[in-house]
Amino acid sequence: MEFPRFLAVSSLLLCSFPLLGKEGNVLLDTKSMDTLALPELSDGAPAAGKLVSATPTEYEGTQVYHLLYLPVSWNSEGERLPIIFEYTGNYFPRSGSTGEVKDAALGYGLSGGEFIWVSLPYIKHGGQQNEVTWWGDVGLTVNYAKVNVPRIVSEFHADPNAVILCGFSRGAIGVNFIGLHDDEIASLWTAFISHDHFDGVKAWTKTDWGSPLASYQAGAIERLKRIGGRPYLVSQNRRNYGADIFIGAHLASIDNFTFLYVDTGSVFGIFPNDWAKSPHTDRWPLLPSIHRERAWEWMNRTVGDVK
């Protein structure tokens, strides 16, 4: 099978990749043919090899929570592992997306289960439960990350020089809309990954934040500027979405961006299947493919290079 062309705007993928990251941790085996199984949600306290839900002290007594996965290799006194934070897609049954943090998959797949992985919530107005469609209360959602990202990095001995933010669909927009909302939250991350959608490319006409297009894009352009040259992988299930054009039109340089076309049909075959209901899915990194190989190459290089 001839795979679709991979477009790399940066030169990252032209380099050889280190076997070890900055902190000495083993990176991803880009040639692996393993299929990844998402970890089962467990009860109890966080521990190596476990996926658990956690409610911060500020939200005790509510249904607000995030997910935390510590890889098998994690040790509270060992080498500091990279950490990947994730924002999920909307509740969208047609694609199989529930909008729930407990059903996230992208961050686990992109990190091969080898990094600390956290699925962050959007918080409903009133602060009593997670939101499954769009942002809920933007202020509460942003503040949750501001408080908990540094706390999690410190508490679980993560590498502060390898803090990646990723998102799928709603979350892909949210990488910028939430993750670059202001200078304080933007400072938390060392690299970014969006899959299927990008902040500012198109209007979201049924929302009060995503239209009219001109005002929405004005805000998105300001958020773009907060990236500040950090590595950014933009992946998309279809060609010609326009993220590269939008980004290139508003930044002086896009050398820090890498654009990846992911043909999920070549990964899964027909839809629906046991993995995904539609081509619009966050499950593609769980299966071996040229697309996962390219994403893991980017991940290795990025984690090895971030300062």
3-state secondary structure 256-299: CEEEEECCHHHHHCCCCCCCCCCCCCCCHHHCCCHHHHHHHHHH
DSSP secondary structure letters along 65-87: -EEEE--TT--TTSPPEEEEEEE
- Residue 5: per-residue pLDDT: 26
Q: Find, among 197, 259, 202, 253, the residue nearest to 225 by Cα.
A: 253
- Residue 142: per-residue pLDDT: 98
Total Cβ atoms within 10 A of residue 49: 13
Tokens of 4: 């679709």
Identify the CATH class of 12-305. Answer: alpha beta
Question: From CA 166, how far away is CA 41, in angstroms rounded?
Answer: 20
Question: From CA 172, how far away is CA 300, in angstroms rounded?
Answer: 21
- Residue 289: per-residue pLDDT: 96
Question: From CA 279, how far away is CA 94, in angstroms rounded?
Answer: 10
- Residue 8: per-residue pLDDT: 32
In this prediction the pTM is 0.90
- Residue 77: per-residue pLDDT: 87
Tokens of 233: 């992988």
Sequence spans of domains, the chain: 12-305
* Average pLDDT per block of 10 residues along the chain, 307 residues long: 30 33 65 94 94 96 97 90 96 83 95 97 96 96 98 96 96 98 98 97 95 96 97 90 94 96 93 89 96 96 71
